[in-house]
Amino acid sequence: MKKNRMRLCAGLLAAILVLSGCSGTSGIKKAEPVNPVEVTDTHYLTDTLHKVTVTESERPFVVDAASEYKIIAGQDEHTQKAALYLASYINKATGCTLEYATPEEYSADGKYIVMNVPELFASAGLTMPEDDLGVMGYYIKSVEDNVFLASNYEQGARFAMLAFLRQVVGFKMYALDAVSFDKDGTTLPDMDIIEKPDIPYGYRMHNSGDEPEESYMMGFVANGFVAYGGVLWHNSLIYLPMEDYQAQHPSWYSTEGNDLCYTAHGDEKELDQMTTVIADKMLEAAAENPEALFATITIMDHSDVCGCDACTASAEKYNGADSAAVVKFTNKINEKVQAELQRQADQTGTKKRPLTVMFFAYTAMTKPPVVQNEDGSYAPIDDSVVCDENVAVFYAPIEAHFNHTFYDEVNQSYNDMMKGWEVCTDEMFCWLYETNFKNYMYPYNCWDSMYETYRFCVDIGASFIMSQGQHNAQASTAFTDLKDFTNSCSIFDLNRDYSDIIDDYFANYYLDAADPMRQYFDEMRAWMRHLEETYPAEVNGFIYAEISQAKFWPKNLLEHWLQLIDEAYKAAEAYKDDKALYDSLIERIKKESMFPRYVLIEFYSGTYSVEVLEDMMLSFKEDAQQLSFNRVLESDGGEMALVYERWGIQ
């Protein structure tokens, strides 16, 4: 393992401490320069599938915005969509509009991009590789002048398309309005690629302003991939509403009255009826949503457990793990779901549809039903708490310290629980967090830690990773958008150097304004590490930490960061002749100004004249509305309109 290059030196932090005026008068005690916490050793993955052989050729692809190549795409919805985006982004990169052809027009000595057309794939003498491609993997193979993109499952068409764009035109997306092409596409290389994403299912729950095209082209799966109306979380009482079933089936509900009872109070007949109803509803939802790969049965948002005798006895039997009853409950549902899917496949003579049923290991259900062996390894207490095939655990360690990696000792208990779940399931799903839900406008320092945490999750078998961000915010500040790009990179290649990702982002997202914006970001990270070391009980990486305190944010430091923002605005003027690009750059920079401006108004309003303060507040409101900032915290009362009301501005 090599040391990650991305570390912040003591000299940088010393400079920040001087700029912040750290003294008794600023509200922060004087601190000697310290070495910020470094990223831990890089834990590279060894079981990834990236067999990539690409050889440059002189074969013309696009010359003078024209091409002899045509696209032949399979008729399924996934492949048709992938073909549409392939043509669109080739056009963006080269100005060329690729034409389409039908399978009947194909000729072995022609020039075609063939996407998921099995009969043409076979006619070229090709067979799918024996490697485990999973649902999202793909095979790209050049044969003479033609190139074939193929996947075992239709969903892999998108990732094959993205790989093709990366190799042919150097496609990268940093945001919907920030796309780069490192190659001109004049030639089509020879390609022999057997690959699947390191995180097959990377999901974003960042902000409600995310564009579907952005999510699609950055590799994220959409909410529609989950059955039951797309409801991914807290849906147990959506399946079985109390008003519909409780009168006739009281044993279906917990003694606390806020969830299901996952043993049906010990009544096996009721448990069978209960799981049948849920299985039937899952199947109905899956039929309505043919794109769905998963169906969830997840506890409601609380930390209670059922206190009935059967649930209590189950927890006692399984080493205090209330989750044991949920595993058995989900296995029963899955058995019924898979049997029906197989029946449908047999009836239609088609391949059995892949559908994974997952349950929530959240709050009181996070403890796995395992024992620890003398050698430190884990084992399920018995076979009945091992997840059946097609059942996955959705682990959500909500109390973890996400400013540190899951390799860090501060997260050891969550590391241990995840390793415990690993021996209970063949497929792990992870629900992580990347924001402070009480303080949307403030930095949440997981930039350095999350990539390593993703590696940890994948290393123990996670195929789905979601990092929950500001899901009900329409815009974010404090370099929250950077996390989108980082997460996108993690989907494709978790062995990529994180330092290179950051360099890449700033160079291409901010262009000539990269230097001052990078300085701002580096200083913010260094300052956050300093706060974590100086105030470990308060700035501890919890997602509800009270970070909005004046003592953490010296006025001089905030004003210095706004000076860097002004430098970035000035640098962006180089693009004034390109209005669309210039306007986008200004908006990207302005987003990052919102955090210090907000905090200056919140904590230092008394240091400004009435006129200056009013101008600051009105200017903030104007920019916030232009950029669609709508919330300052997740819960009720977090609406930006209430901030303006509190400030006394119209």
User: Tens of pLDDT along 92-141?
Assistant: 999 999 999 999 999 999 999 999 999 999 999 999 999 999 989 999 99
Binned at pLDDT 50, 70 and 90, residue 650 comes out as: confident
Q: Residue 649: how many CA atoms within 13 Å on its side-chain side?
A: 18
Check: CB of residue 453 under 8 Å from CB of residue 397: no
Residue 220, pLDDT > 80, answer yes
Q: What pLDDT was estimated at residue 229?
A: 57
Phi first, then psi: give them for residue 174, nearest 5 degrees: -100, -30
Binned at pLDDT 50, 70 and 90, residue 397 comes out as: very high
Binned at pLDDT 50, 70 and 90, residue 33 comes out as: very low
Residue type (1 letter), 609: S
Report CA torsion sign: 459, 460, 465, 467.
Answer: negative
CA distance 402 to 446: 6
Binned at pLDDT 50, 70 and 90, residue 528 comes out as: very high
Alpha carbon dihedral 450, 454, 459, 462, in 10-degree steps, equals 140
Model confidence, pTM: 0.90
Q: What pLDDT was estimated at residue 293?
A: 85
Check: CB of residue 204 under 8 Å from CB of residue 216: no
Check: CB of residue 502 under 8 Å from CB of residue 6: yes
Q: What pLDDT was estimated at residue 488?
A: 94
Residue 514, pLDDT > 90, answer yes
CA distance 584 to 568: 13
Binned at pLDDT 50, 70 and 90, residue 41 comes out as: confident
Residue 6, pLDDT > 50, answer no
Instruction: List the one residue out of 405, 567, 536 whose CA is nearest residue 38.
Output: 405
Q: What pLDDT was estimated at residue 212?
A: 87
Binned at pLDDT 50, 70 and 90, residue 13 comes out as: low
Q: What pLDDT was estimated at residue 405?
A: 95
DSSP 8-state secondary structure symbol assigned to residue 576: T
> Distances from the Cα of 505 to the Cαs of 173, 213, 467, 486, in angstroms?
10, 19, 19, 9
Residue 23, pLDDT > 80, answer no
Q: What pLDDT was estimated at residue 90?
A: 98
pLDDT tens digits for range 589-627: 999 999 999 999 999 999 999 999 999 999 999 999 999
Residue 516, pLDDT > 50, answer yes
Question: By percentage, how much of the chain surpasses pLDDT 90?
Answer: 85
Residue type (1 letter), 535: Y
CA distance 480 to 447: 9
Q: What pLDDT was estimated at residue 35?
A: 37
Q: What pLDDT was estimated at residue 225?
A: 67
Check: CB of residue 550 under 8 Å from CB of residue 603: yes
Q: What pLDDT was estimated at residue 5?
A: 35
Residue 4, pLDDT > 70, answer no
pLDDT tens digits for range 543-597: 999 999 999 999 999 999 999 999 999 999 999 999 999 999 999 999 999 999 9
Q: What pLDDT was estimated at residue 289?
A: 84
pLDDT tens digits for range 451-468: 999 999 999 999 989 899
Residue 9, pLDDT > 80, answer no
CA distance 394 to 358: 6
The CA radius of gyration of the chain, in Å to the nearest whole number, is 27
Angle between helical axes of 481-492 and 498-509 (0-180°, round to 10): 130
Q: What pLDDT was estimated at residue 96?
A: 98
